[in-house]
């Protein structure tokens, strides 16, 4: 698992939402602007680039190449040909979205925007043109939360905030009907799948037609959920208020199998957002420490095997081709091979966590916060280097480079000698070259 944060160029305290464009670039909304990540570097779009409001909650990459930027409260803008342009409709939209971030539904280059609480209008935005459809619901004696707009059928779905009904409203015909669903609140939606929760039971519904909600799953659950998604594979992720993510590792579309107990991930972190990219890699947006990234291969091995029971302690994962190597949140690790997990404890009293891992044949480099432990899986012997590495990368056939705060060190695996030191001013340009070469 890789942690990208301020030291990597993600210069922010909070990360909010993540999206991926048609070229595979990741776009990340933060409290310090919008960031684009190309797999190597982060590019920041902030005040200097033209953003009036740098607290960006989300964005919408469009097929035409534009990026529609959704800031906190208002000041909508879009990125076009590398330039940020403020929407000329901001003054017009400010009354509607002065207190709420809009819910946005995308259809190709067309965006549909509405507020969550008692929406007055549905706005349709395309190519810097805006039109609206008025919502004629009488909100005088009721509070409704809009959770879905279906542009295929022009239908808006709203849930009673303190009641047990769903209101189904057509913005063209103005027809309105009510449907009983119980005293639960809306959690998330994807296509015709909807999740509701009453802090006791999680219910999954499938929408049939425009007004029939068929319950297809129920699961007993405790705890408060503050955000969740159904990913591209129709699997459910729940971000918990007290930390961690619950992952249901099965498609919600499979009605023949009941929901199995979820896997708890990153229990010690408050997760703002989870995103599964087009290659099935997983991205976790953290409240105060950047983002975590885990590749599809590592995640698949890790989620389907017994080591998932230790997920809340795992900080780094690597592989030497045959085994999965794990670094924990203390001076310890583990090797997973042939269905068995073998733990390696260097010092049970040392709570220094693993930051990076590198494997070379039977040698494992555990890069902890304040030292490097080099472990030989054949002899079960270890060597400790007093350095605080950020990266460990291959250099030659039997040597590695340790990138630490004090410099760049060359370690020869055969002789077990720690050699050349390149001082701090040479680390970053040299490391960028190494990333390109290797």
Instruction: Report how far residue 336's alpha carbon sits from residue 345's, in angstroms, rounded to the nearest whole number.
Output: 14
What's the whole-model pTM score?
0.69
Amino acid 73: pLDDT? 67
Average of pLDDT values for 148-165?
94
pLDDT confidence tier of residue 188, bands split at 50, 70 and 90: very high
Identify the residue with better confidence: 3 or 35: 35
Residues 374-407 pLDDT 10s: 999 999 999 999 887 888 888 888 899 888 767 7
Distance CA 421, CA 261 (A): 50
DSSP character string of 368-418: ESS-EEEEETTT--EEEE---EEEEEEEETTEEEEEETTEEEEEETTTTEE
Res. 432 pLDDT band, cuts 50 70 90:
very low
What are the sequence ranges of the domains in the chain?
312-437
Alpha carbons 412 and 385: distance in angstroms, whole number: 13
pLDDT score of 311 more than 90: no
- Give the per-residue pLDDT at 93: 59
Confidence of residue 252 (pLDDT cuts 50, 70, 90): very high
Q: How far is CA 310 from CA 13, 302, 307, 369, in A?
A: 27, 10, 6, 20
- Model confidence pLDDT, tens digit, residues 15-33: 889 999 999 999 999 999 9
What is the average per-residue pLDDT within 98-123? 86
Q: How confident is the model at residue 111 (pLDDT cuts 50, 70, 90)?
A: very high
Instruction: Specify whether domain 312-437 bears CATH 2.130.10.10.
Output: yes
Q: What pLDDT shows up at residue 157?
A: 97
pLDDT in tens, 51-74: 888 889 889 999 999 999 888 766
Is pLDDT larger for residue 306 or for residue 334? 334
More confident residue, 102 or 248: 248
User: What 3-state DSSP class applies to 296?
Assistant: helix
Quote the percentage of the chain above a pLDDT of 70: 88
**Res. 270: pLDDT tops 70:** yes
Q: 171-175, 217-221, 411-415, 427-431: which has the minimum mean pLDDT?
A: 427-431
Mean pLDDT (whole number) for 165-169: 95
pLDDT reported for residue 424: 46
The average pLDDT across 218-241 equals 93
Distances from the Cα of 217 to the Cαs of 68, 146, 208, 237, in angstroms? 35, 23, 15, 15
Task: Choose among 69, 65, 53, 63: nearest CA to 102.
Answer: 69
**Per-residue pLDDT, 74:** 62
Better-predicted residue by pLDDT, 267 or 202: 202
pLDDT (average), residues 229-245: 93
Alpha-carbon span 290 to 3, nearest angstrom: 7
Residue 423: pLDDT band (50, 70, 90) is low
* Separation between Cα atoms, residue 130 and residue 68, nearest integer Å: 14
Q: Please report which helix (H) or strand (E) contains residue 431, including its range.
A: helix 427-437
Q: What is the pLDDT of residues 352-374, one digit of tens each?
A: 888 888 898 899 999 998 899 99
Rounded Cα distance between 402 and 415, Å, is: 16
Cβ neighbours of residue 365 closer than 8 Å, sequence gap 6 or more = 356, 357, 358, 359, 372, 373, 374, 375, 392, 400
**Is the distance from CB of 272 to CB of 14 less than 8 angstroms?**
yes
- Mean of the per-residue pLDDT values of the chain: 85
């Amino acid at each position: 698992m890789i942690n990208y944060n301020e030291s990597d160029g993600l210069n922010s305290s909070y990360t909010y939402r993540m999206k991926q464009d048609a070229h595979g670039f990741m776009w990340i909304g933060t409290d310090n602007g919008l960031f684009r990540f190309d797999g190597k570097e982060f590019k920041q779009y902030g005040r200097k680039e033209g953003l009036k409001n740098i607290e960006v909650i989300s964005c919408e990459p469009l097929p035409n190449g534009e990026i529609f930027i959704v800031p906190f409260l208002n000041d909508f803008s879009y990125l076009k040909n590398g330039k940020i342009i403020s929407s000329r409709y901001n003054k017009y939209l400010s009354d509607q979205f002065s207190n709420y971030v809009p819910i946005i539904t995308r259809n190709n280059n067309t965006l549909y925007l509405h507020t969550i609480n008692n929406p007055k209008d549905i706005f349709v935005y395309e190519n810097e043109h805006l039109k609206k459809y008025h919502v004629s619901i009488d909100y005088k004696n009721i509070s409704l939360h809009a959770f879905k707009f279906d542009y295929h059928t022009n239908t808006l779905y709203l849930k009673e905030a303190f009641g047990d009904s769903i209101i189904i409203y057509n913005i063209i015909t103005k027809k309105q009907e009510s449907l009983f669903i119980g005293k639960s609140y809306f959690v998330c939606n994807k296509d015709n799948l909807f999740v509701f929760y009453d802090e006791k039971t999680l219910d999954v519904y499938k929408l049939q037609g425009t007004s029939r909600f068929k319950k297809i799953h129920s699961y007993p659950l405790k705890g408060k959920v503050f955000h969740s998604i159904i990913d591209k594979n129709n699997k459910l992720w729940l971000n918990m208020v007290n930390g961690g993510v619950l992952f249901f590792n099965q498609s919600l579309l499979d009605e023949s199998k009941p929901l199995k107990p979820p896997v708890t991930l990153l229990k010690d972190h408050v997760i703002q957002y989870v995103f599964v990219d087009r290659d099935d890699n997983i991205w976790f947006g953290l409240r105060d420490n950047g983002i975590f990234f885990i590749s599809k291969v590592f995640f698949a091995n890790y989620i389907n095997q017994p080591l998932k029971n230790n997920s809340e302690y795992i900080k780094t994962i690597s592989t030497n081709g045959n085994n999965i190597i794990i670094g924990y949140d203390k001076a310890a690790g583990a090797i997973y091979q042939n269905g068995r997990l073998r733990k390696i404890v260097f010092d049970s009293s040392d709570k220094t966590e693993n930051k990076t891992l590198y494997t070379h044949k039977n040698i494992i480099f555990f890069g902890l916060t304040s030292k490097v432990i080099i472990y030989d899986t054949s002899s079960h012997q270890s060597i400790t280097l007093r350095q605080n590495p950020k990266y460990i990368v291959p250099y030659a056939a039997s040597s590695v480079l340790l990138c630490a705060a004090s410099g760049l060190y060359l370690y020869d695996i055969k002789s077990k000698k720690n050699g050349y030191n390149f001082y701090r001013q040479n680390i970053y340009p040299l490391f960028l070259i190494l990333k390109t070469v290797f």
